[in-house]
A and B are shown apart, each in its own frame.
Chain A
Amino acid sequence: MSVLDIKDLRVEFPGRKSVFVAVDDVTLSVDAGKVLGVVGESGAGKSTVGNAVIGLLQEPGHIAGGEVYLHGKRIDQLPYKEKRRLRGRKIGMIFQDPLTSLDPLQTVESQLVETIRTHLPLSRSQARQRAIDLIEAVGIPDASERIKQYPHQFSGGMRQRVVIALALCAEPELVIADEPTTALDVSIQAQILELMKELCRERNVAMLVITHDMGVIADITDHVAVMYHGELVEYGETIQVLGAPEHPYTQSLISAVPRPDIKVERFPVVNYIEKAGTPQKQIDIATHWLGKARDYEKVTGPLVQIKDLDMQFETRGSIFPSKRKYFKAVKKVSFDINEGETFGLVGESGSGKSTIARLITGLYQPTGGSILFGKTELTSLKNRKDVLAMRRQMQMIFQDPYSSLNARMRVSDIIAEPIKFHRLASSNAEVRQIVDDLLDHVGLGAAAGKKFPHEFSGGQRQRISIARALATRPRFLICDEPTSALDVSIQAQILNLLKDLQQELGLTMLFISHDLAVIRQMCNRIGVMRHGELCEVADCDQLFEAPQHPYTRELLNLMPSLELLSRANLATA
């Protein structure tokens, strides 16, 4: 008998205008000691499945049909009190963000002990001993000391270990993990996944892992369920589903996953998920506004030369200079970017890669070093006119499509602003024409201009961002994690668009990402960063085939193996 059986589950969220069906007709089961992955993109309803099982659906959501069984006992209709007794005791839960999952005012010990004593008839000292054992089991050294500390004294990865200990502390039969590693860095992600897999086998626990990440699925699951718009589109053994997907959605989803092992020219276009927008109107760059006036000074040698760049932030201010504390975000970084190439910067969070982008664009003033753009030294520009002339030549695309557009402005105004500000057009009519062309060119269509940003999806907003960046006719484009907030299928579209634009306009790009696979697809040369230092710069293929720096090797090793994934679609790409 399976530990968890879900039959024909349907979850509804009644809204003002209509009932939103978050989950429809989902049937799943998980066996003891096995891991079932539920994968899907945002809005697929995968988290809702987990919340429905544990009975924590957010109001006004409710189970509208179907049954949930735990060890053959029906649990979805239990009264509130009995349902509560199952939580923690029979079903443990792990949430996405370890930084907010723990009560900041209680020690780790007291949170563990209270959970243990709620579920098991143990004395305080027995519970404490059990808590220490658990903390040791999840791999936190010096358990009996660290247990006395507060959550803020643990790092993100350590906190997620504490959360896992809390989920396991009453020996549950089922653990539901909702995006357990999404908020963590790659290296920590690998450790946490390893730990979960191990604990699941050792303790014979059934595990339901909810994720958007095919890498996580390939890494630890035995079975996988693929969800799309609340429905289960494919369900089976992981090797089977990933290696030979049957449903067109699964096929397109898998083909859209960037691969570190193979370089493709273009991502296969996935039409199943979101329409790529109205077809792009072909414009002739030679005669179009975008191509005109590219009368930038010719450079011999690299377009951007960065030398000994230093940046420190004050972390503790004080009136006494000796008491001030600084954080060195960028330490003595030097590299060049050649005209027309895409240079990649890769590293984990806090490695300083985004800071470099902001130093080049002038959002931050460096504390040392030089940035040479063409023949101009950017750090010593004083004259406002010169500064503006430089700003016009370099633009940036940001990570978060939800905050990178001003919600109170119409899309056409957002794109027109740089054109008007830099006086790049002679009349309002011309500005309008350019904005329409730009919107067409990024695949949105001119009609999009009348709307506000909130009327668009994440991918569409990122297209608007790109249009805005192009509106100053830049020669250098910085992309700071441009797709990391997007679903994988949409990521593929945006990356394709960026590639096309670069070829058409001959742009030079600095592409920043934490995702090695994406970097491999996009870049000619790559720099690897860690703790503010540049470890290694190499040509793309060379870096992946023969990494020189130990940290690069470590990063490459940590990447989830995607060998399992079907190669069928790649062949046709």
Chain B
Amino acid sequence: MPFITNEDPKSAVQDSAAPVKEPGRMARFLDSDLFHSFLKSKVTVVAATGTAILFLLAFLAPWIAPHNPFDLASISIMDARVPPFWMEYADPRFLLGTDDQGRDMLSAIFYGMRISLIVGFCSVVAAAFIGISLGLVAGYMGGRVDAIIMRIADVQLTFPAILIALLIDGIAHGIFGAIDREVFAFYILIVSLALSFWVQYARTVRGSTMVEKNKEYVQAARVIGIPSVIIMVRHILPNVTGPVLVIATINLALAIVTEATLSFLGVGMPPTQPSLGTLIAIGNDFLYSGEWWIAIFPGLALALLVLNVNLLGDWLRDALNPKLR
């Protein structure tokens, strides 16, 4: 058996005697390399703050938005297509102008962002759940189970997520008919997004699981006699969360974009429950007639949201990748 020495100067520091006093969990986090690399990257701090603000605006929309764009009593067609505040004919009530039905753009964006985020989160959770479970099973069991799961993943991977989502949506459309769409749109979206994104989790988790499976701590657990399911959940799962976290973050951005795209293409959220994508789709019709703000403002909000989440994901990936440190 070859012998492997550890001649990295950094590990030598680790090897020195363990600290005497036991710091608390919070103190340990604040002192961790992860938190430190976070503070060191100014962009990341800005992105985290930006994300937090956008999330707050979205989830607190019913309480902080100046208007309720869904309250039919409060909107008036007389207020339609008012431009944003710095332009001529602006109305001080509507900071970013109004759309074709007289809804306040700023409020519509807050509410739209809320819907986009809810769809994003739900689909990420669903995709992660499917992907992690299948990835763990495939990686740990190996053999035929693994072959079947991964072949399915391979076939699916040849198709971009958007195409799968479109197909599922089309099929659901065929099954439920157009009338029920309003009710089911939200669930159809989450199912189609989850089914198009699970593969990434499954592949990553499977890869990490195959590495972890051969590590000696798993063998030690098997020697003790612990059953496979418990080994997977208690021992392997906590050790593969790093990459999953990175994927989930980047995936949230991707899910928001995909949802927006589907809504823009008219197969996502209906105009009665508009997400950012639906708002852009509505505004797109008015682009040529000069009312650009109806499309551009929701678009910028979307881009800002996705950019911030992506920046966080990017940093997380570099920070958790020990190879790049």
User: Which residue numbers of A lie inside 8 Å of B, CB to CB?
Assistant: 13, 15-16, 20, 22, 42-48, 61, 178-179, 182-185, 212, 275, 349, 354, 358, 361-363, 387-388, 391-392, 394-396, 398-400, 403-409, 417-418, 421-422, 448, 450-451, 454-458, 460, 465, 468-469, 472, 481, 484-485, 487, 513-514
List residues of chain B with CB within 8 A of the CB of A421.
Answer: 224-226
A454 to B239, CA, bound (A): 13
Set of chain B residues within 8 Å of A481, measured between Cβ atoms:
1
Number of interface residues of B (CB under 8 A): 35
Contact B2 A13 (CB under 8 A): no
Q: List 23 A-B contacts (CB under 8 A).
A: A15-B13, A22-B12, A42-B15, A43-B9, A43-B13, A43-B15, A182-B4, A184-B2, A358-B219, A387-B225, A392-B225, A394-B223, A395-B223, A399-B216, A404-B215, A406-B217, A406-B235, A408-B239, A421-B224, A455-B18, A455-B19, A457-B17, A458-B15
The answer on a CB contact under 8 Å between A399 and B223 is: no
Given contacts A275-B17, A399-B216, A457-B15, contact A417 B5 (CB under 8 A): no
Output the least CB separation between A298 and chain B (Å): 23
Chain A residues, Cβ within 8 Å of B11: 42-43
Interchain CA distance A406-B4 in the complex, whole Å: 20
CA distance A421 to B226 in the complex (A): 7
Q: Which residue of B lies closest to A361 (CB)?
A: B223
Proximity bits, B13-47, A CB within 8 Å = 1, else 0 = 11111110010000000000100100000000000
B222 within 8 A of A: yes
C-alpha spacing A443/B7, complex, angstroms: 26
Contact A406 B1 (CB under 8 A): no
The answer for the CA separation of A513 and B235 in the assembled complex, in Å, is 28
Binding site for A on B (CB under 8 A): 1-7, 9-19, 22, 33, 36, 215-217, 219-226, 235, 238-239
B220→A465 contact, CB < 8 A = yes
Tell me whether A391 and B10 are in contact in the complex, defined as CB-CB below 8 angstroms, given that A363-B219, A484-B3 are known contacts: no
Chain B residues near A22: list those with CB within 8 A. 9, 12
Beyond A391-B223, A465-B220, A513-B1, list 17 extra A-B contacts (CB 8 Å). Answer: A20-B12, A42-B11, A43-B11, A43-B15, A44-B12, A179-B5, A184-B2, A185-B2, A361-B223, A395-B223, A396-B220, A398-B220, A417-B224, A455-B18, A457-B14, A458-B15, A472-B224
Report chain B residues within 8 Å CB of A399: 1, 216
Q: Which residues of B contact A404 (CB under 8 A)?
A: 215-217, 219-220
In the bound assembly, the distance between CA atoms of A178 and B17 in angstroms comes to: 27
**Number of inter-chain CB pairs below 8 Å:** 132
Would you give the shortest CB distance from B147 to chain A, in whole angstroms?
9
Complex alpha-carbon distance, A16 and B40, angstroms: 11
Given contacts A182-B5, A468-B220, A484-B3, contact A407 B33 (CB under 8 A): no
Give the shortest distance, in Å, between A141 (CB) and chain B (any CB). 24
Q: Contacts A455-B18, A481-B1 hold; do A422 and B225 have CB atoms under 8 A apart?
A: yes
Please determine whether A450 and B225 come into contact, CB atoms closer than 8 angstroms. Answer: no
Which residue from B1, B12, B216 sits with its C-beta under 8 Å from A484?
A: B1
A403 contacts across to B, CB distance below 8 A:
215-217
- A408 engages B225 (CB within 8 Å): no
- Which 5 pairs, one residue from A and one from B, show the smallest C-beta to C-beta distance? A43-B12, A404-B216, A391-B225, A398-B216, A408-B238
A450 and chain B: residue at smallest CB distance: B22
Cα of A454 to Cα of B10 in the assembled complex, Å: 13
Given the interface pairs A392-B225, A417-B221, the reply to whether A42 lies near B12 with Cβ below 8 Å is yes
A residues near B215, Cβ cutoff 8 Å: 403-404
Contact check, A349 vs B7: say whether CB atoms are below 8 A apart: no
A349-B2, A363-B222, A418-B224 in contact; A179/B22 too (CB < 8 A)?
Answer: no
Q: From A212, which residue of chain B is reached at the shortest CB distance? A: B5
Q: How far is the CB of B285 from chain A (nearest CB, A)?
A: 53
Docked complex Cα distance between A469 and B224 (Å): 8
Once bound together, how far apart are the Cα atoms of A261 and B105, in whole Å? 87
Contacts of A44 in B (CB 8 A): 12
Give CA–CA (A422, B216) in the complex, Å: 20
Chain B residues with CB below 8 A from A354, complex form: 1
Q: Distance in Å from the Cβ of A385 to the closest Cβ of chain B?
A: 10
Shortest C-beta distance, A489 to chain B (Å), equals 12
Q: How far is the CB of B181 from chain A (nearest CB, A)?
A: 45
**Residues in A neighbouring B4, C-beta threshold 8 A:** 182-183, 485
B15's nearest neighbour on chain A, judged by CB, is A457
Alpha-carbon separation in the docked complex, A563 to B238 (Å): 50
Question: Of the candidates B9, B217, B226, which one forms a contact with A13 in the assembled complex, judged by CB atoms under 8 Å apart?
Answer: B9
Please measure, in the bound complex, the distance between the C-alpha atom of A311 and the C-alpha atom of B36, giving whole angstroms. 50
